[in-house]
Amino acid sequence: MCIRDRGKVSVRDGITETHDTGTEANVDFLYEHYIGGSRTFIAASNSELFDLTSMTNRDSTTDGTTANHLIEAGVDFAAAGVTTDSYVINDTDGTYASVTAVAVGDLTLDADIMVSGEDYRVTTPLATGLNSDTWDAVAFDGDLMLVNDNASDPIYSWDGSTLTNETANYTGIADAKVWSGVAEFKERLFFWTGRDQDFWYMDAAKAKTGAVNQFSLSRVNQFGGVLIDAHPWTVDGGEGMDDYMVFLMSSGEVVVYQGVDPGNAVEWGLVGIFKVAEPMGGVRAMANVGGDLHLICRADIIPMSVIFQQGYTGTNSKISGAIRFQSASFASSYGWAIHLHPEGNMLIINHPISGGHNQYVMNTVTGAWARFVGLNARCWGVYNSLMHMGGTDGRVHKLDGESDNGTAITCNVVQAWTDLGNPHEKHPTLAKPIMSGTGAFNYEYKVGFDFVTAIPDSATEVASTGTAWGSPWGSPWSASTNVSTEWRGSSGKGQFINISMNLAALQAISWLRTDLRGNLTTNL
């Protein structure tokens, strides 16, 4: 479940499939280019870059259950067993067309079954034959600048319609392909390789190509490691004179500078050097949240304001134990990343697990934390103000809706332990979890005692039935909202108590509070 609002715990948003690259491979990069009123959405999968913008949502398909599929232009259909009289695809202007008169399983192309009634589109990737799908990007002067963590892939700029190879347009470096990260600070681009302690910066402000200068952090580096990420820190939440540039080393060293031109000692000065646990996530290890900059390391998620004011003295966030546990086995695994979802009031920490990925999610309004499971996200990116995730099958989903592509969202939630304000043993005989949801719903719960959490039975699927406003005739305008206030039996004794709950949701459901009855105030 997800703590999304004050005073209640709600089922997390579901996911809805929006795009299919047709690669059947990992989608390891998503980024929105938003200039003026134009938005484009870039993805990387199977050593290719795609513009997903022209792809429509899954809801536009004939059967309403399958997303649009991409088929690369130039594919030899005959060799793939596809005959001209068994499909209808407009490969002239790239528009969608339905495959007709085709039985399921009759046609297979790139391991993707072409099914009658579903939509397909012939497409040409923006770039092919690349060596890695792990990109870093930053918006700059109307363009999106992209660099890759593989030292042999080009430096690109994307203006919303054309992808341009800019690799040869830099001087001052032997081969710009070695760059793995890019950032903007004070109208100037910064680059780094992820393999040494240096960064490069544009000689001229406001220039996206041209002469670059090299700056070595080895002169101030105290703990070794290589530069893996750099990020501006706008202390007051907006660009101003008090902004800092934060450089993060693989050793956990954090080097902070202030100024506008690293080539001018008067206009560029060292602010401080700090040490934290070793970071995870590479170029995705830091994210701005309001007026602060958060970084993810082996021990915790740490705000720069805390590091800056107090230094690193230990961990104190609510999920520090969870992060330490995961990093003990998966610190070097792919998938660690920190992303801000402004519209959803979420800070998402993506982390690897055995065979996939889960997420720790903070409500940026309340500071409360939750864990998302069942979302095997390789990467995240905001598009049209909604968070999207890249999967392992070439497909992209948006974090929106009340189910996971029609599958119920399984929820497990445990309340904090409490002694109800008195030290005596309690014996609750009845419990009333107060729940609200659209339509009828069911759940399983149990009361635990003295730090032994009781595990409820298997999650019960929530029924999405009911009538609007509880009226006997229903309503065509809105779904019903029901509030469950049923008292249920409880047994057991203890000084401290908590309640755990399981359910499987196909609709919006919130846990508002829990009432208890029984002997709760005296020693039994």
Give the tens place of pLDDT for each residue, 92-136.
333 334 444 433 333 334 334 444 445 555 556 899 899 999 999
Q: Minimal CA–CA distance to 143: which of 132, 156, 158?
A: 158
pLDDT, position 497: 92
When pLDDT is averaged across residues 294-310 and rounded to a whole number, the result is 90
Q: Which stretch of DSSP H or E encloses residue 95?
A: none
- Report d(CA 206, CA 123) in Å as an integer: 34
DSSP 168-231: GGEESSS-GGG--EEEEETTEEEEE-SSSSEEEEESSTT-SSEEEEEEEGGGT-SS---EEEEE
Residue 1 has pLDDT above 70, yes or no: no
Alpha-carbon distance of 230 to 183, in angstroms, equals 7
pLDDT tens, position by position, 327-355 = 999 999 999 999 999 999 999 999 999 99
Name which of 148, 45, 125, 85 is nearest 390 in CA terms.
45
Mean pLDDT of 276-302: 93
Most confident of 32-41, 129-138, 479-488: 129-138
User: In which band, very low, low, confident or very high, does the pLDDT at 18 lie, cut at 50, 70 and 90?
Assistant: confident
Determine the residue type at 465: T
Task: Give yes or no for residue 489 having a pLDDT over 90.
Answer: no
Least confident among 59-63, 116-120, 238-242, 345-349 = 59-63
- Whether 148 shows a pLDDT value over 90: the answer reads yes
The whole-number pLDDT of residue 210 equals 98
Average pLDDT of the chain to the nearest whole number? 82
What are the DSSP calls for 429-452, one per residue? EEEEEEEEEES----EEEEEETTB
Residue 434 has, within 13 A of its CA and on its CB side, a CA count of: 7
Residue 431 and residue 516 in contact, taking contact as beta carbons nearer than 8 Å = yes
How far separated are the first and last CA of the chain, in Å rounded? Answer: 35
Average pLDDT over residues 292-307: 92
Overall average pLDDT of the 356-379 stretch: 92
Please check the confidence at residue 50 and state whether its pLDDT lies above 60: yes
- Predicted model pTM: 0.83
Residues 6+ apart with CB under 8 A from 369: 3, 318, 319, 360, 361, 362, 363
Percent with pLDDT over 90 in the chain: 52
Distance in angstroms (rounded) separating the CA atoms of residues 288 and 140: 17
Burial call 60-95: b when 16+ CB within 10 Å, e when fewer: ebeeeebbbbbbbeeeebeeeebeeebbebeeeeee
Give pLDDT, residue 106.
37
Mean pLDDT over residues 501-517, rounded?
Answer: 88
Q: Which residue has the higher pLDDT, 260 or 115?
A: 260
Asked if pLDDT for residue 211 goes beyond 60, the answer is yes
* Whole-number pLDDT of residue 335: 94
pLDDT above 60: residue 166: yes
pLDDT for 405: 87
CA 379 to chain centroid, in Å, comes to 6
The lowest-confidence range among 25-39, 121-135, 156-170 is 121-135
Strands across the sheet with 292-296, in order? 286-289, 292-296, 301-303
Give 383-404 pLDDT, tens digit per residue: 999 999 999 988 899 999 888 9
Residue that wins the pLDDT comparison between 482 and 1: 482
Q: How confident is the model at residue 439 (pLDDT cuts 50, 70, 90)?
A: confident
Least confident residue range of 7-11, 145-149, 223-227? 7-11
329: helix, coil or strand? Answer: helix
